[in-house]
Amino acid sequence: MIIPCIDLMDRKVVQLVQGREKRLELPDPFMVLEKFAAYPQIQVIDLDAAITGNERSNADIVRDLCARKPCRVGGGIRTVERALQVVNDGAHKVIVGSSAFTPQGINHEFLQSLAAAVPRAKIMIAVDSLGGRVAIHGWRTVLLLDASEALPQLEPYCSEFLCTYIDAEGKLEGTDLAWFRKLRAATSLPITAAGGITTDEEIAALDALGMHAALGMAIYRKVFPEPFREA
């Protein structure tokens, strides 16, 4: 399954290169959603909540997107209460990232509390990798934990993983299929792959591994070519 990504910043849809350099900006999230009408699910990431902790700036947009389409929602999910709020606002699934980890490894205490409050079927955990190791806090902090070692430890707390290969994120230069094969061997849970996925061949290879593909820059380049020509 291909899952388009809608990343929100300052109430607009953006695409960033490796979470930093803005490459595309579109003013109307609902117009973008209409363009993705053929896809069964959407991934919505509130970058303002993730970067600044401001959970309110895009909350109404996220809620309205969830009302129109099944959405996997992430970005700044730091507390059990926030996760519950996102689910109550209609999210198909809630994506927990940095809060699933501590500087020493897995944040079992938080995840146990989360699993006690939110159905496991509603929880996705984002395991993002830079140089093979888990990266958190907007990909600015890299842990000693290997991504493939993290997955089995996280299985009891979620129903699916979102795994981003940060090294290639937003570059439109392709992804690392060998890395995703390593992750596939580490867990039996569903995995949504992200980060640098560019070609139909890569999407087909991921599908053959039983993985979904979350597409950002690659799908925007096809659906909204004009901003790329202007940049």
CB atoms within 10 A of CB 227: 14
| Per-residue CA distances from 176 to 118, 163, 182, 210 (Å) | 33, 12, 10, 16
Burial bucket for residue 119 (CB in 10 Å: 0-12, 13-18, 19+): exposed
Lowest mean pLDDT among 3-7, 17-21, 38-42: 17-21
3-class SS of residue 125: strand
CATH number for the domain that contains residue 69 = 3.20.20.70
Active-site residue set: 7, 128
d(CA 128, CA 116) in angstroms, rounded, equals 24
- The owner of tokens 């392709």 is 174
- 71-129 tens-digit pLDDT: 999 998 999 999 999 999 999 999 999 999 999 999 999 999 999 999 999 999 999 99
At residue 231, does pLDDT exceed 50?
A: no
- 11-35 tens-digit pLDDT: 999 998 776 778 889 999 999 999 9
Encoding tokens for residue 57? Answer: 């700036």
Closest of 59, 67, 109, 61 to residue 85, by C-alpha: 59
- Quickly state the pLDDT bin for 53 (edges 50, 70, 90): confident
- The owner of tokens 């993983």 is 161
Structural domain total, the chain? 1
| 219, 32 Cβ separation under 8 angstroms | no
Lowest mean pLDDT among 39-48, 55-64, 69-78, 153-162: 55-64
Find all residues with CB under 8 Å of 10, minimum gap 6, and list them: 48, 57
Structure confidence at residue 227 (pLDDT): 77
Structure confidence at residue 51 (pLDDT): 80
- The owner of tokens 């389409």 is 69
Q: What is the DSSP string of 92-119?
A: SEEEE-GGGEETTEE-HHHHHHHHHHS-
- 173-216 tens-digit pLDDT: 899 999 999 999 999 999 999 999 999 999 999 999 999 999 99
Give the pTM: 0.92
Domain coverage including residue 66: 2-230
Structure confidence at residue 140 (pLDDT): 82
